[in-house]
Structure 1
Amino acid sequence: MKYKRILLKLSGEALAGENQTGIDAQRLEQYAQEIEKVVQEGIEVAIVIGGGNIFRGVETVGTGIDRVQGDYMGMLATVINGMALQSSLESHGLFTRLMSGIKMEQVCEPFIKRRAVRHLEKGRVVIFGAGIGSPYFTTDSAASLRAIEIEADVVLKGTKVDGVYTADPETDLNATRFSNISFEEVYSKGLNVMDMTAFTLCKENGLPIIVFDMNTPGNLLKVVKGEEVGTLISVD
């Protein structure tokens, strides 16, 4: 295996499957199976999941809901998704821990770096919910920050697209996919990978990012093995 400890970033919208909102049971089961395969290989897995399938704080503009309040609502949505994923993983016999940037002891542990690392060392899948616990920061930023804190080898951004393209492949038929690209090239070409805060955190700490299609069975394990799946973004 090329990577020993990974941070898997999943979007909330991905959990909705073909639906626009909510949690799709088939997609949840698929993700649990993919993660189980990786854990069985002895890989330490941490996960950050978004909440866009339930609520997005940035969409509160003009609704009468304050932006800060909306962001906190979005954080709670990520905890709901984390609880769903936790239950699905445990149904496969995996040991898990759900840790939150906001204290809510009845459903999850507060995030403590040393405790998170210890869980990973014991083979538990650690799910980070509620972002970093502060408004105005996306779950992309939470993924980058948590990956740095737990000293992950790589950030794996699982999406419905199989990598980073020169343009949006859904609207531009001439768009081509990069197999490898540097942080500087992503900046200069204005490519949309993660929000700027998250992306800069990875760049400054030399933490590689791999963008890949999480919905294709077997892709997650292939990425962890070091096979050429998706797009690798690195310093070089």
Structure 2
Amino acid sequence: MKVSGEALMGDQSYGIDMNTAERIAEEVGAAVKAGYEMCLVIGGGNIFRGLQAAAKGMDRAAADYMGMLATVMNALAMQTALERRGVQTRVQSAIPMTTVCEPYIRRRAVRHMEKGRVVIFAAGTGNPFFTTDTAAALRAAEMGCDALFKGTQVDGVYSADPKKDPNAERYDQLDYLDVIARDLKVMDASAVTLMRDNQIPIVVFDIQKTNGLADVLDGRGVCTVVGPKPAQKR
């Protein structure tokens, strides 16, 4: 599951609202107890945005590395919230910092998940010029995930921002190529392409809704599924 950094802000304008983190942790914990293997990627936009800093004159690579460090802070906060609920959690960082978390090792991450632990992948891909969306897609492919869930502020994918455009059209299902061709702001193009190449569906849902994750996992929730185009009936 990919969670944006902004989702952790709650009603604040900056930083981590631990009440919000606790609520998301409650949902993830419920999914684990229901038997699902879960891994997470959390963005860092609630603390630092590399792209915005670069636009103001900061070196892009340095700005992106700072953004990666912000994702580590969010990952540690989410780990704390999950472990308060008795959910064993491991944070693995693409940038080695062994004092606070494990380095990213794919086979170790797979083993953690097999043991019922939640793995939070921090520091993006470990490389500048790549978003945490791409990191989430990459980890989903590496872990052999059945689906990539993206928790957003709305209940699916729209033709425009529904908070600004009341006439925005909501989609129940989209093909990967539709997302790219229409420039829909689901995930960046490299992430969508990676999911297309590995035939992993992207499920976009409202992370702010109580029990939103559980409802979508049960097939009852409102969401948009981005996946292979359905075969035409003859």
* Short-chain TM bin: over 0.9
1:155-194 equivalences under 5 Å are 155-194=148-187
1:64 deviates by 4.5
- 1:47 equivalent to 2:40? Answer yes
- 1:60 equivalent to 2:60? Answer no
Q: Taking structure 1 as the reference length, what is the TM-score of the superposition?
A: 0.94
Q: What is aligned with 2:106? A: 113
The alignment yields a C-alpha RMSD, in angstroms, of 1.1
Answer yes or no: is the 8 Å Cα contact 1:179–1:228 preserved in 2.
Answer: no
Q: Distance in 1 between matches of 2:65 and 2:88?
A: 28
What is the CA deviation profile of residues 126-177 of structure 1, one whole-angstrom value per residue up to 9, with x for unaligned ones?
A: 0000001000000000000000000000000001111001222112111121
Identity %: 51
Q: Distance in 2 between matches of 1:18 and 1:212?
A: 19
Q: Distance in 1 between matches of 2:52 and 2:178?
A: 30
What is the CA deviation profile of residues 164-197 of structure 1, one whole-angstrom value per residue up to 9, with x for unaligned ones?
A: 0122211211112111111122223221111111
Q: Distance in 2 between matches of 1:188 and 1:105?
A: 42
1:8-157 equivalences under 5 Å are 8-61=1-54, 63-157=56-150
Q: What is aligned with 1:5? A: none
Higher relative contact order (CA 8 A, sep 6+): 1
Q: What is aligned with 2:218? A: 225
What is the CA deviation profile of residues 98-132 of structure 1, one whole-angstrom value per residue up to 9, with x for unaligned ones?
A: 00000000111111111100000000000000001
Which residues of structure 2 form unaligned runs of 5+?
A: 230-234
Query: Taking structure 1 as reference, are residues 169 and 218 closer, same or farther at Cα in structure 2, changes over 3 Å only?
Result: same
Q: How many residues align?
A: 229
1:51 counterpart letter in structure 2: G
Q: Distance in 2 between matches of 1:20 and 1:153?
A: 34
Answer yes or no: is the 8 Å Cα contact 2:95–2:123 preserved in 1.
Answer: yes
1:189-208 equivalences under 5 Å are 189-208=182-201
Out of 81-90 and 216-225, give the one that drifted further. 216-225
Which residues of structure 1 form unaligned runs of 5+?
A: 1-7
What is the CA deviation profile of residues 27-68 of structure 1, one whole-angstrom value per residue up to 9, with x for unaligned ones?
A: 111101111110110110000000011111111135442110
Q: Distance in 1 between matches of 2:112 and 2:55?
A: 42
